[in-house]
Amino acid sequence: MKDRRKREVITWSRFFCCTLFMVISCVLFTGFTFSSFQLFRETFHPVLVSPWRNSAMEAIKEESPISPALEIRETVIFPDQVLIFLKYPSSSPLFTKDDLDCSYFPPNSSQPHLKLPPSWINDDPNPIHQFVRCPIHPRGFATSLSLKSNGRISVPVGPTHRWDSLVYEALIDRDNTTIVFVKGLNLRPERLSESSRYECVYGWDFKRPKFLLTSEAVLSVAQEIVRCKTPLSVLNTQDKSVKVSVRVKGRRGILNSVARPDYLPESDTHVGKKHEMCVCTMVRNQARFLREWVMYHARIGVERWFIYDNNSEDPIDDVIGSLNWSGYKITRHFWPWIKTQEAGFAHCALRARDSCEWVGFIDVDEFLYFRSNLSLRDVLRNQTIGFDQVGELRVGCYNFGPSGLKRPPEQGVTVGYTCRMASPERHKSIVRPEVLNSTLINVVHHFHMSDGFGHVNVDRGVLTINHYKYQVWEVFKEKFYRRVATFVADWQDPQNVGSKDRTPGLGTRPVEPPDWSSRFCEVTDTGIRDWVLRVLANPNTKRLPWQD
């Protein structure tokens, strides 16, 4: 069994010998020089033409020619939606919501029974990030896409993966190791796992063991993250379609993967100078809170924002676009993966590492507030000068209540909510990404550090977080609404095409407690409000920057 698998997989060393031999032969006999990448392609690519054509797909293919403008690379099925990764020809313009429909095929049928508008299309020019979100399909159905301009033709369905066991993201770290994010390993939290049980595998189609490359060394495995040595030919290849996956030794097969290793972005600061502080956050439909949160934190010294967007359906694009145009360094990253907050934070910390000295992990309803006259810079500097071994600052949070309000405050949360619980509840972290442990282990915002580094608890008289956790009912109740797919009872009825119905689950409709607006109110705390009105309000109009 073991031997057979060995034979099936071309190990890196054997591959290297082969490559070396062929390079030498080529040079000797033809006088041409090939880069190892060209060889990699020449040896393997011809065999891999159209690896995805399988029978399920054939069943759906229509007789008419397929529109050449668009292909489905692959599909991931989530509990509440379908994520379809696209493959555009390089010359094709990016599609928008107005160009495409999601189409749904019953088993063995070549005719879609239903078409619905996509919930969202990602227009990122990076081909790794081009995908469409469709409402979830009924059991047994296949989801595809069709062009509105050419309604009868649906694109063939690509290979389809379930979300619960999938390699979903990968990054090449600056030491050239591959960091692989995996769902379904079910490892214990906060622990290093035995890395000899795992293998990283590189290739195009993990169902064809012949054309795979196995990494020699797995450096660490913890939680959802596997770190492997990257084979040289993968580092040197220009072929961005190579994917990475993970094999658990002793288990059959290799995990499905949609992850093509992505390089970390170049630092966006000048050489040698980093932003003093950046923030990583994960949002979902919270665009309307972003302006105040970004502008406030910019004023206290935050310089860069990394927004991980978990499937928002609100105008987050517009809000981030307008903040960017006003000069705020803010970017959005897609993070459609569910229950992956720790992995998302690790991913963000890595992306921030080259441009940020410190990274805060706070939500958009959390505001850092300096209770003394010390500035962010003072607090951070104080920790680095003479306290070299500090890798994490822990900041206590105060939870604010609705403060007697019935409607969302016009001037923003910092001005509107002024009554909170007396004692702090948990804390959030500001970490130095340079000294994170290479395993990237983190649990509820606490990262493990490299050996020799630790944390300090920041004095509550100096810095705390105002957490606007219990806002007016209208805002708070959104946390209760369960997302319900666009399908209503009779989804086979073509009348439903275009339906935007959202039925909150029966019995889950939350009812406002009569005393909601006075709950969670133990002490009056107008500190941040007074500061905001004094420092940020326009002296003439009294308006705050986020109200414009």
Gap between the Cα atoms of 179 and 219, Å rounded: 10
- Applying CB under 6 A, the span of 123-131, 210-218, 448-456, 518-526 interacting with ligand NAG comes to 448-456
The per-residue b/e assignment along 420-443, b for 16 or more CB within 10 angstroms, e otherwise, is bbeebeebbbbbbbebbbbbbbbe
The pair of three-digit structure tokens given for residue 452, joined into one six-digit string: 């020799």
**442-443 and 446-447: which strand pairing?**
antiparallel
**Is residue 284 classed exposed, middle or buried when 0-12, 13-18 and 19+ CB atoms within 10 A define those classes?**
middle
Gap between the Cα atoms of 322 and 88, Å rounded: 28
Amino acid sitting at position 381: R
Which residues ranging from 207 to 266 are in contact with ligand NAG (CB under 6 A)? Answer: 235-236
Q: Where are the beta strands (DSSP E) in 347-412?
A: 356-361, 366-370, 390-399
Side-chain-side CA neighbours of 544 within 13 Å: the count stands at 25
Is 451 one of the binding residues for ligand NAG (CB under 6 A)?
yes
Supply the minimum distance, in Å, between the C-beta of residue 326 and ligand NAG.
Answer: 8
Q: Which is nearer to ligand NAG, 25 or 389 (CB)?
A: 389
Is 35 one of the binding residues for ligand NAG (CB under 6 A)?
no
Choosing from 197, 284, 288, 394, the residue that interacts with ligand NAG (CB under 6 A) is 284
Which residues ranging from 474 to 533 are in contact with ligand NAG (CB under 6 A)? Answer: 483
Choosing from 438, 496, 499, 547, the residue that interacts with ligand NAG (CB under 6 A) is 438
Is 38 one of the binding residues for ligand NAG (CB under 6 A)?
no
Supply the minimum distance, in Å, between the C-beta of residue 537 and ligand NAG.
Answer: 18
Is 149 one of the binding residues for ligand NAG (CB under 6 A)?
no
Contact 223/342 with Cβ under 8 angstroms?
yes
323: left (phi over 0), alpha (psi -120 to 50) or beta: alpha
The pair of three-digit structure tokens given for residue 540, joined into one six-digit string: 């003439």
Supply the minimum distance, in Å, between the C-beta of residue 236 and ligand NAG.
Answer: 5
Choosing from 8, 58, 123, 175, the residue that interacts with ligand NAG (CB under 6 A) is 175
Is 372 one of the binding residues for ligand NAG (CB under 6 A)?
yes
Q: Which is nearer to ligand NAG, 254 or 282 (CB)?
A: 282
Supply the minimum distance, in Å, between the C-beta of residue 414 and ligand NAG.
Answer: 18
Is 321 one of the binding residues for ligand NAG (CB under 6 A)?
yes
Closest by CA position to 475, among listed 523, 543, 545, 416? 416
Choosing from 310, 322, 411, 547, the residue that interacts with ligand NAG (CB under 6 A) is 310
Choosing from 66, 94, 96, 107, the residue that interacts with ligand NAG (CB under 6 A) is 107
Task: For residue 363, give every residue at least 6 positions away whose Cβ sits within 8 Å of its Cβ, in sequence order, or none.
Answer: 281, 282, 283, 467
User: Given the rule CB under 6 A, which residues bind ligand NAG?
Assistant: 80, 107-108, 175-176, 192, 235-236, 282, 284, 310-311, 321, 324-325, 338-341, 344, 372-374, 378, 382, 437-439, 448, 450-451, 483
